[in-house]
Chain A
Amino acid sequence: MMPYLDEAFGNPSCLHSWGDVAREAMEDARAQVAQLIGANAEEIIFTSSGTESNNLAVKGLALAQQNKGKHVVVSAIEHFSVLHSARTLEKWGFEISLVPVDRDGVVNPEDVRKNLRKDTVLVSIMHASSEVGTIEPISEIAKVTKERGVVFHTDAVATVGTVPLKVKELGVDALSLAGNQFYGPKGAGALWVRRGVRIIPLLDGGVQEGGRRAGTENIPAIVGLGKAAKLAKANMATRMEHLTYLRDRLLTELPVKIDHVAVTGHQSNRLPGNVSFCVEFIEGEAMLMLLDSQGVAVTSGSACTSMALKASHVLIAMGISHELAQGSILFSFGLDNTAEDVDYVLEVMPPIVDRLRQMSPLYAKFIKSSKGGK
């Protein structure tokens, strides 16, 4: 990336030789990203982020087909960049249907079928939730959309670069990805759109990215994204093995150490580095802060953790009560994590949970009622 912030500063749209250097670097990156997902390079549109890719896909694919119909189907657990794009479409006269998920966060392809109408022009279902880790049956859903001739987009930001995938095998028409999910730089994402599928650009201007996304490209970030894609493809199997081992250890051993803990998301069909729980009777932010003071960085879907003061829509859509969702906690393992890190969490977390439960009126009530029941 560094040379493209320094001597190779050319604009890829310029015809002079500095422009050539930047353009070649960008096209190499495009090929690297395409190879990672089994696509053709010219089908890749570089964007600024996964969020932009999802906005472009949901709005751009729906707008391109509005003469055919104005109905769009998304799942209830989509990222806000999909859900809020759908809400915007609603303001523009589209109708939106939300497909539910089961307790494990899985979308049933039959529920997608039930929501399809004559005027449905787009289905957007995420490949996996980074919040609860569940991987969705995208190729099964694609069979349904293909039967009905409906364009199918998947937000694969959580999976591209982490688990092996080929766009042809998934059977989708468009797919979003972001480099920062697999050790690329922030500020570079991409949208893959199958050749022949029409999309309306959100940014008007020049003819960059095949006229589908105007604006001078962020060359250093794109080069970084390409390199990250190349490394992810080369090291996918060993990375997965490492992350799956850490995940399964924490997933199975933490509930042994701590009572009244529920795993959220699918037990086995989940992202390799994702471990998510709801801990009963206590609140996520308090847990997060005490773990942070012990050097453990986690996230939570509790209302108190969010700026909006609302519990995670993903957990609520899975049928988890607001009360239990408050105790949400998410561990995302990275390549630098080790088995010792799992041991460390297993050692420091039980006293933290215990300490917060000793303060919790809910826990006191639970103890009293369970004693009374005996």
Chain B
Amino acid sequence: MPVYSDKVMEYFTNPRNVGEIENPDGVGEVGNPVCGDMMTFYIKVKDNRLDDVKFKTFGCGAAIAVSSMVSEMAKGKTLEEALEITPRLVADELEGLPKQKLHCSNLGAQALHKAIQDYLSKKKEVQNNGS
């Protein structure tokens, strides 16, 4: 078993924000089961803030802990702030990840950003159609 920090174990065994959001404002899916990890993030946006963030993850302990941490870090932040969440910050918040698991933290941040971009592009579409 890889040596995980206590924080990783805590976020893996008691993950926060697991689930799906009905009628989400944005969805971001990254990874695939062949490489071993797949994450889907769902967001609800209110007044430019992430009102709710939920995720579903197929993957190892690190992948689940990362998703859980990203969701917690993102919740309540403005979209601009959330886009500044980097893999490095996620790994630091988890008190480090084993070297061969660092790619998991990339996926977590990517999935969140993708969900935000999904929201922004949908919003743009609505605005364009409205004008």
Contact = CB atoms under 8 A, between A and B. Distances in A.
Given A359-B18, A364-B20, A286 B33 contact: no
B12 interface: yes
Nearest to B31: A361
Contacts of A358: 18
B58 A304 contact: no
A209 interface: no
A322 interface: yes
B65 to A, nearest CB: 10
B29 to A, nearest CB: 7
Contacts of A364: 20, 56
Interface residues of B, number: 27
A292 interface: yes
A239 to B, nearest CB: 28
A323 B34 contact: yes
B33 A359 contact: no
B1 A361 contact: no
Contacts of A322: 33-34
Interface string B20-60: 10000000010001111111100000000000000011111
Contacts of B63: 283, 286, 304
Given A322-B34, A326-B58, A362-B38, 17 more contacts: A283-B63, A286-B60, A286-B63, A289-B12, A289-B61, A290-B13, A304-B62, A304-B101, A311-B36, A322-B33, A359-B15, A359-B18, A359-B56, A360-B56, A361-B40, A361-B57, A362-B33
Nearest to B13: A293
Interface size class of A (residues with CB under 8 A): 20 to 34
B36 A283 contact: yes
B57 A359 contact: yes
A307 B61 contact: no
A303 B61 contact: no
A323 B33 contact: yes
Contacts of B34: 322-323
A288 B1 contact: yes
B100 interface: yes
A263 B68 CA distance: 31
A323 B15 CA distance: 23
Contacts of A123: none
A281 interface: yes
B13 A360 contact: no
A286 B12 CA distance: 9
Interface in A330-374: 358-364
A360 B15 CA distance: 13
A293 B14 CA distance: 13
A150 B101 CA distance: 45
Interface string A45-60: 0000000000000000
Contacts of B40: 361
Contact of B56 (A284, A307, A361): A361
Contact of A304 (B20, B56, B60): B60
12 contacts: A284-B60, A286-B59, A289-B1, A302-B36, A304-B62, A309-B36, A309-B100, A326-B58, A358-B18, A359-B57, A360-B58, A364-B56
A305 B61 CA distance: 10
Given A303-B36, A304-B36, A322-B33, A281 B1 contact: no
- The 8 A-B residue pairs whose C-beta atoms are closest, nearest first, are A304-B60, A285-B60, A323-B33, A303-B36, A361-B56, A322-B34, A361-B40, A360-B58
Contacts of B101: 304
Given A283-B60, A304-B60, A305-B60, A292 B36 contact: no
A138 B118 CA distance: 57
A359 B1 contact: no
B116 interface: no
Contacts of B1: 285, 288-289, 292
B64 interface: yes
Contacts of A290: 13
Contacts of A302: 36, 60
B100 A326 contact: no
Interface string A267-303: 0000000000000011111101110110000000011
B100 to A, nearest CB: 6
A361 B39 CA distance: 7
B114 to A, nearest CB: 13
Contacts of A293: 13
B23 to A, nearest CB: 15
Contacts of A363: 58
A302 B60 CA distance: 9
Chain A CB within 10 Å, residue with most, of B18, B37, B58: B58
